[in-house]
Structure 1
Amino acid sequence: MSKYTTLKKTRGDGYDRIQWYDAKLNTHTIRADDPVTARTVAPEERTRKPGKWKGQKPYQGHYWCAGARASVFHESMTEYAGMMLIDHLYDIVKVYAQPMLMTFFDGLYHYPDFLVIEADGTRHVVDVHPKALTKPGDPEKFAHTARVCEVLGWRYTLIDQLSDIVRMNVEMMSRYRHHRYTPAPDIADHILGTAKKHETFGELRRALATDKPGELMPFLFHLMWKGELNFDLTDRFTEHTPLTAA
């Protein structure tokens, strides 16, 4: 059994505040009302570290983020799935788990699940919280978080439900998310060009067949993961699924 540790919240004083740890566990605090000052937020350690205990149900671990090319802690498999979806949908360069403590003007406080840095510099706060686990006060915390992010010019995403179909579709592509599956430019052009002439996945798969069974499939799925080939994530993926080259 390991001990639960966390950055302690401050009292509400009429202002929204953000706190985080640097690499030496020094605490940094800013008032969350200025986009320029908010650029100094640079988490190096998790502000909330849940413990482990015998019989524990949530499965803790690490997700390898393809965009950041680094492992990120997840507190449950629901968080794992949520982070995988964000990794697929956005161009990520860095990601931090339990990155900060937000204390709001009215005394409510919240530890967001992830802070994502996108390639264009956008800061993106992500919460993964199933509706079934929502407790009194949670909606207010998420609303406050969304409001603060809007003030700071950050993106905010709350994943409160994720269908089995969406999860399975993302998992299917994620097997090929690693950059080692990146096709050479000529192969990528060949796949994308062929996709423009064939409407469904099955048609495209057959058109890309070589004398080596499945030779181009890892590259095809990597292009799907990167969003260069798109399909409806909310629909079951089959041979008849339409694919569209971006």
Structure 2
Amino acid sequence: MKYQMLRATPGDGYDRIQWFDGRRFTHTIRANDPVTALTVLPGERTRKPGKWKGQRPYHGHYWCAGSRTSVFHESMAEYAGMMLIDHLYDIVRVDAQPMFMTFADGTVHYPDYLAREADGTAHVIDIHPRALTTEASDLAFANTARVCEVLGWRFTLIDQLSDIVRMNLEMMGRYRHHRYTPIAAIEEHILLTAKANESFGDLRRALATDMPGELMPFLFHLMWRRELTFDLTRAFTEHTPLTAS
């Protein structure tokens, strides 16, 4: 396939998706068939934001525990949003700025992320603070949600995360790496103990060993993996209830 740039198509009544493969060749499909949509496998970012002196958005990379890859983020809002998705869903692949969508009405949109979940579900994620939302961005998100519904894809718009949710994610996220995965016997011990000790404080004390904090990294890793769950929207304390799956 000949290399070409991504171009918006006219508003001719069709929704389209364009993306680059690993060799930066362009692929285009009409976004009306779930089977054809299985071919959407981005290999390069379709949009690469520039950098300039004094810019406020912080560019960087988030290490995704699900895909075990570093994923580009354009702002700290995207970093936090990607961390939430990584925690809540079983992600096995994620691509930043994965595709260029042209809608039937002629408007266009670059979604922030396309993730693939363990069960094969495609998951489009947009992260856009509510305070910065305009009528144009609202229309883009509505069109994206509509196309995702047609294709059988999941769509998530993250437009607000409280400081409490961010702090809870960062608390667990320190232990998201697979190096903190407990062996089967320790995992079983923690989960069984959690069923008899409902609060975090009670569980922490029940898990105490001769080595202070020995099992805590494993405990937080199981919380990250949702083997132990709690209310993300409330401040985490010694009294926070934990529920074993």
Shorter-normalised TM range: over 0.9
Q: Please say if residues 7 and 48 of structure 1, whose CA atoms lie closer than 8 Å, have aligned partners that are also in contact.
A: no
- Please name the residue that 1:232 is paired with: 231
Looking at structure 1, the residues matched to 138 and 103 of structure 2 have their Cα atoms a distance apart, in angstroms, of 14
- Please name the residue that 1:121 is paired with: 120
How much is the aligned-residue C-alpha RMSD, in angstroms?
0.8
- Please name the residue that 1:110 is paired with: 109
Question: What are the equivalent positions in structure 2 for 1:162-173 lying under 5 Å apart?
Answer: 162-173=161-172
- Please name the residue that 2:34 is paired with: 35
> Structure 2 counterpart of 1:91, which letter?
D
- Please name the residue that 2:72 is paired with: 73
Question: What are the equivalent positions in structure 2 for 1:118-197 lying under 5 Å apart?
Answer: 118-197=117-196
Looking at structure 1, the residues matched to 228 and 216 of structure 2 have their Cα atoms a distance apart, in angstroms, of 13
TM-score for the superposition, normalised by structure 1: 0.97
Looking at structure 1, the residues matched to 43 and 145 of structure 2 have their Cα atoms a distance apart, in angstroms, of 23
Displacement of 1:135 in angstroms is 1.9
Question: What are the equivalent positions in structure 2 for 1:53-68 lying under 5 Å apart?
Answer: 53-68=52-67
Displacement of 1:13 in angstroms is 1.7
- Please name the residue that 1:3 is paired with: none
Q: Please say if residues 18 and 102 of structure 1, whose CA atoms lie closer than 8 Å, have aligned partners that are also in contact.
A: yes
Deviations 1:134-183 (A, max 9, x none): 12311111000000000000000000110100111011000000000000
Looking at structure 2, the residues matched to 7 and 178 of structure 1 have their Cα atoms a distance apart, in angstroms, of 36
Gaps spanning 5+ residues in structure 1: where?
A: 1-5
- Please name the residue that 2:207 is paired with: 208
Partner secondary structure for residue 168 of structure 1: helix
> Structure 1 counterpart of 2:228, which letter?
L
Looking at structure 1, the residues matched to 125 and 8 of structure 2 have their Cα atoms a distance apart, in angstroms, of 20
> Structure 1 counterpart of 2:122, which letter?
R
Looking at structure 2, the residues matched to 188 and 136 of structure 1 have their Cα atoms a distance apart, in angstroms, of 48
Gaps spanning 5+ residues in structure 2: where?
A: none
> Structure 1 counterpart of 2:143, which letter?
H
Looking at structure 1, the residues matched to 57 and 6 of structure 2 have their Cα atoms a distance apart, in angstroms, of 21
Looking at structure 2, the residues matched to 7 and 83 of structure 1 have their Cα atoms a distance apart, in angstroms, of 25
Deviations 1:163-210 (A, max 9, x none): 100111011000000000000000000000000000100000000000
Looking at structure 1, the residues matched to 44 and 11 of structure 2 have their Cα atoms a distance apart, in angstroms, of 24
- Please name the residue that 1:49 is paired with: 48
> Structure 2 counterpart of 1:207, which letter?
A
Question: What are the equivalent positions in structure 2 for 1:8-27 lying under 5 Å apart?
Answer: 8-27=7-26
Displacement of 1:12 in angstroms is 2.1
> Structure 1 counterpart of 2:220, which letter?
F
Q: Please say if residues 173 and 224 of structure 1, whose CA atoms lie closer than 8 Å, have aligned partners that are also in contact.
A: yes
- Please name the residue that 2:218 is paired with: 219
Partner secondary structure for residue 196 of structure 1: helix
Looking at structure 1, the residues matched to 210 and 10 of structure 2 have their Cα atoms a distance apart, in angstroms, of 67
Looking at structure 2, the residues matched to 228 and 24 of structure 1 have their Cα atoms a distance apart, in angstroms, of 40
Partner secondary structure for residue 169 of structure 1: helix
Looking at structure 2, the residues matched to 42 and 237 of structure 1 have their Cα atoms a distance apart, in angstroms, of 38
